[in-house]
Amino acid sequence: MVNKLNKKNGFWWKKYVQTPIIDYVKEATAQYSTTDGKNIIIKLGWEYVSPDEANKLRNSTSNIIFRDVFIEQLKKLNPLLIDDHQDVNELIKAIENVPANINGNQQAWEYLKGLRTVFVQNEKRFRNVKLIDEITLDNNKYQITDEFTYENGKNKIRADLVFLINGIPILLIETKAPIKQNAMNEALEQINRYHTECPKLMSVLQLYALTNYSQYYFSAT
């Protein structure tokens, strides 16, 4: 029965693994109970972006960042600093073109933490810029998209789920069918393939996760 369903409907299992993740993070809040009986409420409210809209926001599947979102949030978090369109484009270019290795991953993290400088034209000097507000979290824009297609001219991949903060991809999740044997190993092999075939994307991303509904694994990229 499973084999017939799989052949007939292709990725039928995504509605049991992938879709629930999207639906969950779209909720305004979530409540958890601790082992000592305390109830903890966390804020969620991620905005879902369709694959087609995600492609439009990136201008091209060879780009990584949601450009309009990034620009809007950058100006919001740095109102007195970023005013020149050239500065913004140079910053996007710098983030998307960090070295395709562990050093590039470190550089991307430093950009996210506001530790790296950019040249500000109107001041004629280098300044730190804030890409994520770590104090007032509501100032950030949280988005999730699925079937995230990325290509670099040589290879093309399609990630199941990608989480973005202020237009920057932060987390990638690969989902697998709950009835599939060795599903988690297959998902990890897929992540390794992403590293080999599209290392620039993986350098910008900071985390990846694997799940088949019953199991969950995550790690730094």
**Per-residue model confidence as pLDDT tens digits over 78-137:** 887 766 666 788 899 999 999 999 999 999 999 999 999 887 777 778 888 899 999 999
- pLDDT classification of 30: cutoffs 50, 70, 90: confident
- pLDDT classification of 8: cutoffs 50, 70, 90: very low
In a domain, 134, yes or no: yes
In a domain, 2, yes or no: no
Domains contained in the chain, number: 1
- pLDDT classification of 26: cutoffs 50, 70, 90: very high
- pLDDT classification of 7: cutoffs 50, 70, 90: very low
In a domain, 53, yes or no: yes
In a domain, 3, yes or no: no
Average pLDDT over residues 49-71: 97
Q: Which residue in 192, 189, 190, 198 sits closest to 154, CA to CA?
A: 198
Kind and range of the H or E run holding 110: helix 102-112
In a domain, 58, yes or no: yes
In a domain, 75, yes or no: yes
User: Which residues lie below 8 Å from residue 93, measured CB to CB, with a gap of 6+?
Assistant: none
| Cβ neighbours around 67 below 10 Å, total | 18
Average pLDDT over residues 158-174: 97
> pTM to 2 decimals?
0.90
Asked if 180 and 189 touch (Cβ cutoff 8 Å), the reply is no
> How far is it, in rounded angstroms, from Cα 82 to Cα 168?
17
Range of the structural domain that residue 111 is part of = 14-28+39-220
In a domain, 4, yes or no: no
Query: What pLDDT sits at residue 11?
Result: 61
